[in-house]
Amino acid sequence: MIDFISKKIAPSGVLRVGLNMSNFLLVNSKDIKGLPNGVSPDIGKKLAKELNVSCKLVQFERPGLLADAVNEDRWDIGNIAFEKERGKTIDFSDPYVNIDANFIFRNKDNFYSNDEINSPGIKIAVVERSAYDLWLTENFKKAELIKVNTIDDSHKLFREGHVDVLAGLKPKLIEELKTNNDFKIISNPFTYIKQAIGIKKGNPEILDFLNEFVSKLIKDGYIEQLLKKHKVQDKLSIPKID
């Protein structure tokens, strides 16, 4: 079975792992060779080892660029967040970690809930084509989404007062809160980012294999070990397995 899956998913004998380099929680450093290091690269290396093939890490500056390359033969698996819109061109495994996505705002606006933010006249800074941008685009029709290329750009927009609200991953927002006592967070996430393994559509046997692979990593405690190894155990949550 492993040989069959290996030939299907990595026919060249090299598993090309697409990485979203902007996800600072999952790609958070570089190894001694200067290659990406973190939970996401380690998942790719673990899968390559399981398939008895070598591993090549393919770097993408933003998640949208990774998703766009699904039919360009640039990666065999893409470690990227599941999102409904992306699901039109990519098949996703079950998630191996979850990340909270929240809003921060200024004291004067005094928001109490996520629903209040979805109001006419409210401007929200968001990273274009991030998983939470895609979710907001589908679900927040009243507020105005101000889309930028990078996380730093979205934080800068908020700090400089060009928007009312900043949408982002909770750990990064917590860092922002520490810089200014005027900023507040809505503690209830507006969505959860489900980090998963993506593949080109039309390969159900590979998807079944990946779901078993992810389930085993969670049950065996490997994901927990990875989070501790990369010091993100307090910033990411492990999905529950039925």
Q: Do 7 and 66 contact (CB within 8 A), yes or no?
A: no
Collapse the DSSP code of 5 into the 3-class scheme (helix H, G, I; strand E, B; otherwise coil) and give the result.
Answer: helix
Show the DSSP H helices in the chain as ranges.
2-9, 39-50, 63-68, 114-117, 131-139, 151-159, 170-177, 204-219, 222-229
> What pLDDT digit, counting tens, does each position of 4-25 carry?
999 999 999 999 999 999 999 9
**pLDDT score recorded for residue 147:** 98
What are the start-end ranges of the E strands in 52-170?
A: 54-60, 77-82, 90-92, 97-106, 123-127, 144-148, 165-169
> What pLDDT digit, counting tens, does each position of 163-213 carry?
999 999 999 999 999 999 999 999 999 998 999 999 999 999 999 999 999
Tokens describing residue 234: 């307090």
What is d(CA 117, CA 187) in angstroms, rounded to the nearest whole number?
A: 13
**pLDDT score recorded for residue 223:** 97
- pLDDT over 90 percentage in the chain: 90
How crowded is residue 151: how many other Cβ atoms within 10 Å of its Cβ? 20
Q: Do 177 and 185 contact (CB within 8 A), yes or no?
A: yes
> What pLDDT digit, counting tens, does each position of 76-124 carry?
999 999 988 899 999 999 999 999 999 999 999 999 999 999 999 999 9
Q: Could you tell me the domains of the chain?
A: 2-97+194-229 (3.40.190.10), 100-191 (3.40.190.10)
Collapse the DSSP code of 100 into the 3-class scheme (helix H, G, I; strand E, B; otherwise coil) and give the result.
Answer: strand
How crowded is residue 128: how many other Cβ atoms within 10 Å of its Cβ? 18
